[in-house]
C-alpha cells in the first residue's frame, strides 16, 4: 500500500470504529461484533478474507470466533483437531496465526508457496484460495486473547501502513472484547445489587455516561476536530487534567487552560515505582491504563502504533476515581490519538516525497531553471525559501532500523515555527533550516535523536553547511556541505557534528568549485612529484602533506608516517629538487599546501560532479 492509498481523513476509519462500538453497546452477540471487525478489515485495508480467532480456555488452540468471506469448507478445516495448535509439535503443523499469538507480534507471509516453515498452510490455503496473509495479535488491557488474520488472493508485499492499520484494528477488536466482558460484569453487578437502589442507579449512570462519551468522541472525530479539541473534551468529561505527549515526552496537547495539573515529571518517571507502573502498562504494546503511585492521582495510557510506543495520554487529578468503564473511555481516546498520529505520520511521508522532488530541482548543479516556481512549490508545503537557510546534511553509514523516520525526528527537534524542509538528494538526507534563529542547537538535537534511534547499528554525521540567501545559492551551499562531509570522512573521522565554516581555506575552494584554473595550478606544482612516484615510488606527496600538516616538523611527520626522520628529510630534499622550489620559503609552502588541498578536493569530487 503506497502513501497515496492511505485515507487523508479519519472519517472512514472512525465510522467503522463507531459501528463496532455501537454493536458492543447494543449488546449484540460477540460473534456478530467480531464479524463486523473482520468485515471492516476487508473493506478498509483491502483484503479479500479475514478471521478473528480467540484462544480457548486452556490456551492450546485458536478458534475462529468471527470472519468475513471464509467458506464453510475452510472453516471446517481450521476447526479440525490438527489445526491452529498454539504450540504444535513441529513446523508441519504450525501456522502464522499460532506464531503471532505465541510471539505476540505481527507475522507476514507475502507468498504461502514460499512459507515452508508453516506446514499447515500448504493444506489450508488452496481450500480458501489465498496466497498471502497477515496475522496480528489482539492486544487488550489484560493478557493477549487471540489474533486477527487477513488474507489476500494474490501474493503481495505488505508495507508499514498496512501493518500499522491491521494492528490498530486488532486493538479495536481487543477493546470490543474487553468492553463486552466489562459490560457483562457490570450487568452482573447491577443484578446482584438490584436491591440496593442507589447502587443500581449509579451503575446505570456510569454505563450511560460511557455511552454518551463514546458518541461525543465519534462526533468530534467525524467533525475532524484536531487533537487539542479532543483533549479538551476528555478533560471536561473526566473533570481532570489531560496531557498528550509523543514518545520523547514532548507535549502535543493539554487541557484545561485553568487549573491544569501536569503529569509526573521526567525525574519521577525514572524512579522505580513510576517506571515499573509505566512498563506494566506498555507490555506487548497493549492499550492499558495504569495508575501511577504517588500523592497526586494520575493515570497513563500508552499510545501505540504497531508494536511501537508513539506517545502517552495522561489523566491527572480527576474529581473522582475513574470507574472501569471510564478507563475504557480513556483507552478509546488513546486509540483515536494513535490514529491521529498515524495520519500525521503519513502526511509527513507525503511531504517528504514532495520535498525530495523539490530538492532535486533546487540543489542540482547550476540551480533551478525556474526559481519562482521552486519558491512557490516550497511555500505550498509550508516553507519560505526566500528567507536565508542553512543547508545541512545528515549522513547515516550502516544499517538503519525501519522505525527511524528523519522527518519526525527533525519535526520533534525543531523550535516552534522553525521546522526544516527535509528530504533525500544524491544519497544524503538534506535539511534546509531557517538561519534565524541560529539552527546549531536544533541540528545537534536531530543528530542526537538520529544516533539514538539508529542505536549502535550505524555511524551518524551531521554537516552544517553555508547559508543560502537566494535560490541560486542552495546548489553552491549543498556542494560545500557535501565536500565538507567528504573531507571529514577522508581524514578517518566517524560520526558527530561538522561545521563546514570551520574548514577555512578548504571551504573557500569547495565554494569556488575547483575550476580548471585551480586544477592547472595544482597540476603544475605536483606533476613532477606524481611522475616520480609512478616510476620510482617514494611517497613524496604523502610525505609533503604530512610535513605541512605537522607544522613543518620533520619529527612529527616521521611519527605520523611511521618512518625514520632521516627518510622524511631525504624525501623533502627530493621534493625541492623535482619542483625547483625551496621549502624554507613560506610562499612555496603556502602554494604547495593549496595545491594539495585542490588535489584532494578534486579527487573526492571526481565521482560527484564537483
User: How many angstroms separate the CA atoms of 422 and 431, rounded?
Assistant: 5
Supply the pLDDT for residue 141: 58
Domain for residue 511, yes or no?
Answer: no
Q: 308 and 270, same structural domain?
A: yes
Q: Are 286 and 168 in contact (CB under 8 A)?
A: no
| 3-state DSSP of 5-29 | HCCCCCHHHHHHHHHHHHHHHCCCC
In this predicted structure, the answer to whether residue 290 has a pLDDT above a threshold of 50 is yes
B/e letters for 216-249, b = 16+ CB within 10 Å, e = fewer, are: bbbebbeeeeeeeebbbbbbebbebbbbbbbbee
Is residue 358 in a domain? Answer: no
Is beta strand 496-499 parallel, antiparallel or unpaired with respect to 458-468?
parallel
Please list the residues that pair with 303 across neighbouring strands: 311
pLDDT for res 350: 62
DSSP designation for 309? E
Segment holding 527, helix H or strand E = helix 516-536
Statement to judge: residues 160 and 276 lie in one domain? no
pLDDT digits (tens, 9 = 90+) for 246-288: 777 778 888 888 889 888 877 777 767 767 766 665 555 455 6
Asked, for residue 141, whether it belongs to a domain, the answer is yes
Q: Which of 165, 180, 195 is the last residue of a domain?
A: 180
**Residue 244's pLDDT band (cuts 50, 70, 90):** confident
Q: How confident is the model at residue 195 (pLDDT cuts 50, 70, 90)?
A: very low
Phi, psi of 294 (to 5 degrees): 130, 180
Is residue 325 domain-shared with residue 370, that is, in the same domain?
no
For 367-394, the pLDDT digits (tens) are 666 778 878 877 877 778 888 888 888 8
**Among candidate residues 344, 378, 412, the one where a domain is terminated:** 344
Mean pLDDT, residues 336-354: 67
Mean pLDDT of 432-452: 82
In a domain, 199, yes or no: no
Same domain, yes or no: 326 and 393: no
Number of domains in the chain: 4
3-state secondary structure of 264: coil
Greatest CA span in the chain, whole angstroms?
Answer: 113
CA 543-544-548 angle, to 5 degrees, is 115
Is the confidence at residue 302, as pLDDT, over 70? yes
Q: Both 496 and 521 in a single domain?
A: no
353: in domain? no
Q: What is the pLDDT of residue 96?
A: 93
In this structure, the answer to whether residues 499 and 526 fall within a common structural domain is no
pLDDT of residue 148: 92
Q: pLDDT for 463-500, tens place per residue? A: 888 888 888 788 878 877 887 777 676 656 667 888 87
Within a domain: residue 185? no
CATH number of the domain bearing residue 408? 3.30.70
Mean pLDDT, the chain, rounded, equals 76
Lowest mean pLDDT among 46-50, 161-165, 269-273, 344-348: 344-348
Band of pLDDT at residue 90, cut at 50, 70 and 90? confident
Note whether residue 355 is domain-resident: no
Instruction: Give the domain CATH number at 217.
Output: 3.30.450.40
State whether 145 and 16 are in the same domain: yes
Which of 504, 532, 553 is the last residue in one of the domains? 504
Domain co-membership, 375 together with 486: yes
pLDDT at residue 52 in the model: 92
Which of 3-7, 122-126, 295-299, 411-415 is predicted with the least confidence, judged by mean pLDDT?
3-7
Confidence of residue 18 (pLDDT cuts 50, 70, 90): low
CA angle 149, 151, 155 (to 5 degrees): 135
The average pLDDT across 426-447 equals 82
What is the pTM assigned to this prediction?
0.45
User: What pLDDT shows up at residue 434?
Assistant: 86
| pLDDT category of residue 160 using cuts at 50, 70 and 90 | confident
Number of H helices, E strands in the chain: 21, 15
SS3 323: coil
Q: How far apart are CA 276 and CA 63, in angstroms?
A: 34
Q: From CA 34, how far away is CA 52, in angstroms rounded?
A: 7
How far apart are alpha carbons 315 and 262 in whole angstroms? Answer: 9
* Domain match, 499 and 521 both: no
Using a pLDDT cut of 70, give the percent of the chain over it. Answer: 70
Surface-to-core class of residue 380, CB atoms within 10 Å of its CB (0-12 exposed, 13-18 middle, 19+ buried): exposed
Q: Which residues pair with 200 in a beta bridge?
A: none
Residues 371 and 323 in one domain: no
By mean pLDDT, which of 4-8, 78-82, 532-536 is the weakest? 4-8
Residue 420 scores a pLDDT above 80: no
Residue 196 within any structural domain of the chain: no
Peptide bond between residue 212 and the one before it cis (omega within 30 degrees of 0): no
pLDDT band at 101 (very low <50, low <70, confident <90, very high): very high
Determine the structural domain holding residue 597 and report its residue range: 516-605
- Percent of the chain's residues with pLDDT above 90: 9
For residues 535 and 474, state if they share a domain: no
Grid cell of 26 as nine digits: 447494543
**Pair (480, 559) in one structural domain:** no
The enclosing domain of 562 has a CATH number of 1.10.10.2840
Amino acid at each position: 500500500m503506497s502513501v497515496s492509498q492511505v485515507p487523508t481523513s479519519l472519517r472512514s476509519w472512525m465510522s467503522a470504529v463507531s459501528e463496532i462500538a455501537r454493536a458492543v453497546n447494543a449488546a449484540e452477540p460477540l460473534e456478530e461484533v467480531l464479524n463486523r471487525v473482520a468485515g471492516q478489515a476487508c473493506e478498509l485495508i483491502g483484503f479479500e478474507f479475514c478471521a478473528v480467532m480467540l484462544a480457548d480456555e486452556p490456551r492450546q488452540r485458536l478458534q475462529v470466533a468471527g470472519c468475513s468471506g471464509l467458506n464453510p469448507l475452510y472453516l471446517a478445516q481450521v476447526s479440525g483437531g490438527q489445526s491452529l495448535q498454539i504450540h504444535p509439535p513441529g513446523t508441519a503443523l504450525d501456522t502464522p496465526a499460532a506464531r503471532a499469538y505465541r510471539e505476540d507480534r505481527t507475522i507476514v507471509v507475502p507468498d504461502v508457496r514460499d512459507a515452508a516453515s508453516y506446514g499447515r498452510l500448504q493444506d489450508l490455503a488452496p481450500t480458501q484460495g489465498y496466497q498471502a496473509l497477515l496475522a496480528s495479535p489482539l492486544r487488550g488491557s489484560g493478557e493477549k486473547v487471540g489474533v486477527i488474520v487477513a488474507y489476500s488472493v494474490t501474493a503481495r508485499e505488505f508495507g508499514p501502513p498496512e501493518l500499522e492499520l491491521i494492528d490498530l484494528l486488532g486493538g479495536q477488536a481487543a477493546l470490543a472484547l474487553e468492553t463486552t466482558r466489562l459490560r457483562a460484569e457490570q450487568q452482573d453487578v447491577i443484578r446482584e445489587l438490584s436491591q440496593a437502589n442507589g447502587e443500581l442507579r449509579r451503575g446505570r449512570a456510569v454505563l450511560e455516561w460511557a455511552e454518551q462519551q463514546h458518541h461525543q468522541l465519534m462526533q468530534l472525530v467525524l467533525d475532524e476536530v484536531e487533537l487539542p479539541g479532543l483533549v479538551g473534551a476528555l478533560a471536561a468529561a473526566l473533570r481532570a487534567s489531560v496531557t498528550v505527549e509523543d514518545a520523547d515526552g514532548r507535549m502535543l496537547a493539554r487541557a484545561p487552560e485553568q487549573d491544569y495539573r501536569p503529569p509526573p515529571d521526567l525525574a519521577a518517571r525514572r524512579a522505580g515505582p513510576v517506571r515499573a507502573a509505566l512498563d506494566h502498562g506498555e507490555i506487548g504494546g497493549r492499550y492499558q491504563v495504569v495508575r501511577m503511585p504517588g500523592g497526586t492521582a494520575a493515570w497513563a495510557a500508552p499510545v501505540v502504533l504497531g508494536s511501537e510506543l508513539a506517545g502517552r495520554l495522561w489523566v491527572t487529578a480527576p474529581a473522582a476515581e475513574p470507574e472501569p468503564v471510564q478507563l475504557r473511555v480513556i483507552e478509546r481516546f488513546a486509540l483515536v490519538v494513535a490514529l491521529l498520529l498515524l495520519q500525521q505520520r503519513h502526511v509527513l511521508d507525503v511531504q517528504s516525497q514532495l520535498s525530495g522532488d523539490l530538492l532535486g530541482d533546487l540543489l542540482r548543479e547550476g540551480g533551478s531553471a525556474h526559481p519562482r516556481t521552486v519558491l512557490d512549490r516550497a511555500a505550498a508545503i509550508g516553507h519560505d525559501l526566500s528567507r536565508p537557510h542553512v543547508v545541512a546534511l545528515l549522513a547515516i553509514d550502516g544499517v538503519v532500523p525501519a522505525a527511524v523516520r528523519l522527518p519526525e525526528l527533525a519535526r520533534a527537534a525543531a523550535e516552534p515555527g522553525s521546522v526544516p524542509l527535509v528530504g533525500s538528494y544524491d544519497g544524503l538526507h538534506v535539511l534546509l533550516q531557517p538561519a534565524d534563529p541560529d539552527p546549531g542547537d536544533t541540528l545537534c538535537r536531530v543528530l542526537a535523536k538520529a544516533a539514538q534511534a539508529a542505536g549502535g547499528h550505524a555511524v551518524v554525521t551531521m554537516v552544517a553547511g553555508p547559508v543560502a540567501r537566494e535560490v541560486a545559492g542552495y546548489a553552491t551551499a549543498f556542494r560545500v556541505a557535501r565536500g565538507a562531509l567528504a573531507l571529514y570522512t577522508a581524514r578517518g573521522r566517524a560520526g558527530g557534528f561538522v561545521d563546514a565554516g570551520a574548514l577555512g581555506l578548504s571551504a573557500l575552494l569547495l565554494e569556488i568549485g575547483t575550476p580548471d584554473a585551480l586544477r592547472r595550478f595544482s597540476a603544475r606544482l605536483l606533476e613532477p612529484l606524481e611522475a616520480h612516484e609512478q616510476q620510482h615510488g617514494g611517497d613524496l606527496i604523502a610525505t609533503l602533506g604530512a610535513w605541512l600538516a605537522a607544522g613543518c616538523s620533520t619529527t612529527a611527520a616521521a611519527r605520523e608516517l611511521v618512518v625514520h626522520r632521516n627518510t622524511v628529510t631525504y624525501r623533502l630534499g627530493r621534493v625541492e629538487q623535482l619542483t625547483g622550489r625551496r621549502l624554507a620559503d613560506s610562499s612555496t609552502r603556502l602554494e604547495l599546501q593549496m595545491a594539495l588541498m585542490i588535489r584532494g578536493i578534486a579527487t573526492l569530487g571526481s565521482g560527484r560532479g564537483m
